[in-house]
Amino acid sequence: MTRYDYRPIPADVAALLRERDDAGLTREPFVDDEGGAPLRCCLTRSVPGDTLVLVTYAPLRRWAEEHGADPGAYDETGPVFLHAHQCAGPRHDGFPAEVASSRRVFRGYDKRGHIVGGRLVSSAPGHGEEVAAAALDDLFADPGVEVVHVRAVEFGCFHAEVRRPAG
């Protein structure tokens, strides 16, 4: 099975978003009494009592800046939850369990930052990693796909960025 590079929102970007998000606003932290919020800084879910912040994020914008691309209208913004203060980041190496346990849309983007393909991924219990890897193998089989974004089906929220394995 191919090992892909799953990327949460980088710590330096999350720090900027906590100060001023991609809508240009400063958001107020809050205590999550129930837990279960999907955290994009560490690719886990919150637990009751965590202090969070809900910010506006434009994930493709960062990739486009890094690669000199102009995604145009594909430069979407949306809500993401972060820990209100810097956290330790992902607690795993590789495939995040949060991706494997829910229906997701995998969107492939080309070197311009335009959508060139997508897959709906619905994993069976215990087989999430294999199902997601097969969808990524399929998307990355197209040499025009530079990066894949994983999003929630129901709300369209950004979950993680996936890049081809290094080397």
Print the SS3 string covering 38-107: EECCCCEECCCCCEEEEEEECHHHHHHHHHCCCCHHHCCCEEEEEECCCCCCCCCCCCCHHHHCCCEEEE
**pLDDT at residue 145, as a whole number:** 95
Per-residue pLDDT of the chain (167 residues; tens, 9 = 90+): 567 888 889 999 999 999 999 999 999 999 999 999 989 999 888 999 999 999 999 999 989 999 999 999 999 999 999 999 999 888 766 666 665 667 889 999 999 999 999 999 886 666 667 778 888 999 999 999 999 999 988 888 898 899 887 65
Give the predicted TM-score (pTM) of the model.
0.88
**pLDDT at residue 124, as a whole number:** 60
Whole-angstrom distance, CA of residue 69 vs CA of residue 81: 26
Print the SS3 string covering 121-159: ECCCCCCHHHHHHHHHHHHHCCCCCCEEEEEECCCCCEE
**pLDDT at residue 125, as a whole number:** 61
**pLDDT at residue 100, as a whole number:** 60
**pLDDT at residue 93, as a whole number:** 62
Our CA dihedral for 9, 94, 132, 166, rounded to 10 degrees, sits at 90
